[in-house]
Structure 1
Amino acid sequence: MSNSFTLLFSSFIGFLQIYLILLLIRVSLTWFPNVNWYGQPFYSLSRITDPYLKMFRGIVPPLIGIDISPILGFILLQCIMQIVSNIGLSS
């Protein structure tokens, strides 16, 4: 039973790490104005990451025209990863 929980937690942490990388790529690409978000692979990337990022856009207002809400998203995702990791290690 313990091995299945360990596998479940490690798989979930792996998924969150991949999602964190996708978020980092998405946020980094916003600095390039020539990116066509309607072409592949950028369209798929935005479809995967935008729902999560949109949750934080209304919480943190832009500062000097820069949207800093993804920072809150990164922090929350890191906290979730840490909590899941600690739960997985304790079981």
Structure 2
Amino acid sequence: MLEMLLTKSLIHKLSTLSPQIQASIRISSSSGGPLFFAAICDRPASYLNTPLTVVAAGLSKWLDIYSGVLMVRVLLSWFPNIPWDRQPLSAIRDLCDPYLNLFRNIIPSVFDTLDVSPSLAFAVLGTLGSILNNSK
């Protein structure tokens, strides 16, 4: 019922446009017809690019990139002969180790060799990312 009302309202508004614009709209929406406009109207209000959603989207993307860099750091830690004093490895270490050290202080190593703190670090990043994705 609401979709039909919105569609009629949009068709009425389209009828006031110039014939060239009407023709271009008919061509571009010929595959979906009025349902195309109804689908646009069904988008949530949070779809708008408010400053908060833009910041949330940026932070979410940054967390994705940081998770990738953190994954590289964790995978490289399995190789004992990696020269961590050379670039770009030292930059990766300097970027990731302060965050990992927060969790290394909370969770001790298992059998003094297996460090399980990155699993908690990834869980926290994933939780923050899902909160930011839901706020968009």
Task: Say yes or no: TM over 0.5.
Answer: yes
Fraction of identical pairs, as percent: 37
1:15 to 62, 76, 81: 62
The alignment covers a number of residue pairs equal to 87
* Partner residue in 1 for 2:71: 24
* Partner residue in 1 for 2:93: 46
Q: 1:5 Cα shift?
A: 2.6
**Does 1:60 pair with 2:110?**
no
Q: Is the 2:107–2:116 Cα contact (8 Å) retained in structure 1? A: yes
Q: 1:7 Cα shift?
A: 2.0
Which one has the largest radius of gyration? 2
Alpha-carbon separation, structure 1, partners of 2:106 and 2:54: 35
Higher relative contact order (CA 8 A, sep 6+): 1
Output the TM-score relative to the length of structure 1: 0.90
2:129 to 74, 81, 86: 81
Letter in 1 for 2:121: G
Letter in 2 for 1:87: S
Deviations 1:32-52 (A, max 9, x none): 111111001100000111110
Output the TM-score relative to the length of structure 2: 0.61
Alpha-carbon separation, structure 2, partners of 1:33 and 1:54: 19
Task: Calculate the aligned-residue CA RMSD, in Å.
Answer: 1.0
Gaps of 5+ in 2: 1-47
Q: Which runs of 4+ in 1 moved over 4 A?
A: none
